[in-house]
């Protein structure tokens, strides 16, 4: 039996079923679509039975219902009598809307799937043949012109992510969630269903098990770069003695200690992005896409990324990778030693900060080592070293001036009283040696 998810898709689907007759009326409020032919209600009932028989997830049911509503909004007659011309008009209506290329591809896939369920083709003996695509929709092509694809606009650099993590300095829970999402390449639902019993903390790393609601089944998430924040939140978790408590929970006065939701995370991301001046449409899912991109630019193999994400193949890389030709060109220059990896190439560096003095691994948003209290930024260290060198240089100049002045005084004194001058010279020399 399909289970509810973090987006409450089950509740949305049940609500849609209970209000199906309302969609026969003209759209009102936020509702956009209307079932133009009353006779097509029977096809919804067929789909509902097919969903139960196939045990389709509720989130996919909602996507299929949305697309089926578009079909019924455009086509004004019984679907049994639909011709290819009617389907072409439907596709023209859909293509003229501002949908993404992926949404258009998915619509064609769903269109053919729906037709196979409600109006299946039959073989020569009159039996339903699930392998055949119904003639009315067989000609529809899901390929989209690549030139129409647009960048998402939610790609960020490591410097920007560091500022974002620093902005959550008063909320280690969010620091742990965001850094773990970027490192583990996990989906929002997988992370937000993690419970206390699923977290295994070791000396300098952690394993977080996805024991339920994993799209690829059960697996574990790696926490190495994010360990500093994960371990701290694990220690501070108010319900850490309850193994069945969610690991990422709400901490506000309203709905306190309940499961954190993607909408709540997205709201906090928008607030902090506005605060630090990061004008990008970041969402919880942006972390997964950027995590894949950073790992590819860092030199991780596709197979390694597949294992980290828990995928069954490397096909998903095409969906999540945000890198482009410019990134590949810069990476090649760095590898060949033509350019040095400076701040513009932070994507190729590890996602934690190792102290060069004591070797302690610090969180990405830290500026001072938590162990030895020294600065982690190399520029700050270099500036401090330059300052000390300049201070030593000035001190040496002053010492040289003092030596010259004392030498001149001794020469003058030696002319008047050689014995006293010799004794004074010895005392002055010993004092200078002690100072140096």
Whole-model pTM?
A: 0.70
- Other C-beta atoms closer than 10 Å to the C-beta of 400 total 10
- Shared-domain flag, residues 186 and 86: no
- Alpha-carbon distance of 348 to 238, in angstroms, equals 36
Residue 244 belongs to some domain of the structure: yes
Residue 200 belongs to some domain of the structure: yes
Last residue of a domain, one of 107, 130, 148: 148
- Shared-domain flag, residues 116 and 167: no
Tell me the backbone φ, ψ of residue 259, rounded to 5 degrees: -60, 130
Quote the Cα angle for 300-164-237, to 5°: 90
Residue 254 belongs to some domain of the structure: yes
- Shared-domain flag, residues 284 and 183: yes
Residue 363 belongs to some domain of the structure: no
- Shared-domain flag, residues 84 and 211: no
pLDDT tens, N- to C-terminus, the chain (436 residues)? 778 888 899 999 999 999 999 999 988 888 899 999 999 999 999 999 999 999 999 999 999 999 999 999 999 999 999 999 999 999 999 988 878 888 888 999 999 999 999 999 988 888 998 889 999 999 998 776 666 666 678 888 888 999 999 999 999 999 999 999 999 999 999 999 999 999 999 888 899 999 888 777 788 898 988 999 999 999 999 999 999 999 999 988 888 899 999 999 999 999 999 999 999 999 999 999 999 888 888 777 888 888 888 888 888 787 787 777 777 777 777 667 676 665 544 444 545 666 766 767 776 567 677 777 777 665 565 566 666 777 877 887 888 887 777 777 766 766 666 666 566 555 554 444 444 5
- Alpha-carbon distance of 52 to 1, in angstroms, equals 8
Residue 194 belongs to some domain of the structure: yes
- Shared-domain flag, residues 298 and 405: no
Domain that holds residue 341: 158-345
Residue 368 belongs to some domain of the structure: no
- Shared-domain flag, residues 130 and 68: yes
Q: Is there a contact between 76 and 90 (Cβ–Cβ < 8 Å)?
A: no
- Shared-domain flag, residues 24 and 102: yes
- Shared-domain flag, residues 94 and 127: yes
Residue 59 belongs to some domain of the structure: yes
CATH code for the domain in which residue 181 is found: 1.10.443.10
Last residue of a domain, one of 119, 148, 177: 148
Q: How far is CA 106 from CA 8, 31, 222, in A?
A: 22, 21, 31
Q: How far is CA 155 from CA 42, 257, 283, in A?
A: 45, 31, 10
The two structure tokens encoding residue 131? 């392998």
- Shared-domain flag, residues 46 and 193: no
- Shared-domain flag, residues 325 and 272: yes
Last residue of a domain, one of 120, 148, 176: 148
Nearest to 91 by CA among 156, 137, 151, 36: 137
Residue 195 three-state SS:
strand
- Shared-domain flag, residues 123 and 165: no
Domains of the chain: total: 3
Residue 361 belongs to some domain of the structure: no
- Other C-beta atoms closer than 10 Å to the C-beta of 234 total 20
pLDDT, tens only, 378-387: 556 556 666 6
Quote the Cα angle for 376-378-384, to 5°: 95
- Shared-domain flag, residues 127 and 223: no
């Amino acid at each position: 039996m399909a289970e509810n998810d973090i987006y409450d898709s089950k509740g949305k689907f049940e609500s849609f079923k209970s209000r199906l007759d309302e969609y026969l009326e003209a759209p009102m409020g936020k509702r956009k679509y209307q079932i133009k032919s009353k006779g097509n209600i029977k096809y919804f009932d067929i789909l509902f039975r097919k969903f139960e028989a196939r045990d389709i997830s509720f989130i996919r049911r909602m996507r299929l219902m949305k697309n089926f509503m578009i079909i019924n909004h455009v086509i004004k007659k019984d679907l049994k009598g639909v011709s290819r011309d009617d389907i072409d008009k439907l596709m023209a209506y859909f293509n003229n809307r501002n949908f993404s290329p992926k949404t258009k591809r998915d619509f064609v896939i769903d269109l053919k799937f729906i037709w196979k369920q409600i109006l299946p083709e039959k073989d020569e003996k009159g039996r339903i043949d699930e392998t055949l695509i119904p003639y009315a929709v067989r000609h529809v092509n899901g390929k989209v012109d690549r030139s129409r694809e647009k960048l998402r606009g939610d790609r960020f650099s490591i410097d920007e992510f560091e500022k974002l993590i620093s902005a959550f300095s008063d909320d280690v829970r969010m620091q742990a969630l965001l850094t773990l999402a970027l490192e583990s390449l996990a989906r929002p639902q997988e992370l937000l269903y993690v419970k206390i019993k699923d977290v295994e903390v070791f000396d300098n790393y952690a394993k977080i098990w996805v024991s339920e609601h994993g799209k690829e089944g059960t697996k574990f998430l790696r926490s190495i770069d994010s360990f500093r924040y994960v371990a701290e939140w694990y220690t501070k978790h108010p319900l850490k003695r309850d193994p069945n408590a969610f690991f990422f929970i709400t901490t506000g006065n309203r709905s306190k200690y309940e499961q954190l939701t993607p909408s709540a995370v997205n709201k906090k991301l928008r607030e902090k992005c506005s605060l630090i001046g990061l004008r990008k449409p970041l969402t919880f899912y942006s972390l997964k896409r950027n995590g894949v991109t950073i790992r590819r630019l860092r030199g991780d193999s596709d197979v390694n990324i597949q294992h980290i994400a828990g995928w069954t193949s490397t096909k998903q890389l095409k969906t999540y990778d945000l890198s482009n030709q410019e990134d590949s060109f810069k990476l090649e220059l760095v590898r060949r030693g033509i350019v040095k990896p400076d701040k513009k190439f932070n994507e190729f560096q590890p996602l934690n900060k190792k102290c060069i003095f004591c070797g302690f691994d610090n969180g990405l948003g830290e500026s001072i080592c938590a162990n030895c209290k020294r600065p982690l930024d190399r520029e700050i260290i270099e500036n401090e070293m330059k300052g000390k060198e300049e201070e030593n240089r000035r001190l040496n100049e002053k010492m040289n001036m003092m030596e010259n002045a004392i030498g001149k005084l001794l020469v003058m004194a030696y002319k008047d009283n050689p014995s006293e001058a010799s004794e004074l010279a010895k005392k002055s020399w010993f004092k200078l040696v002690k100072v140096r």
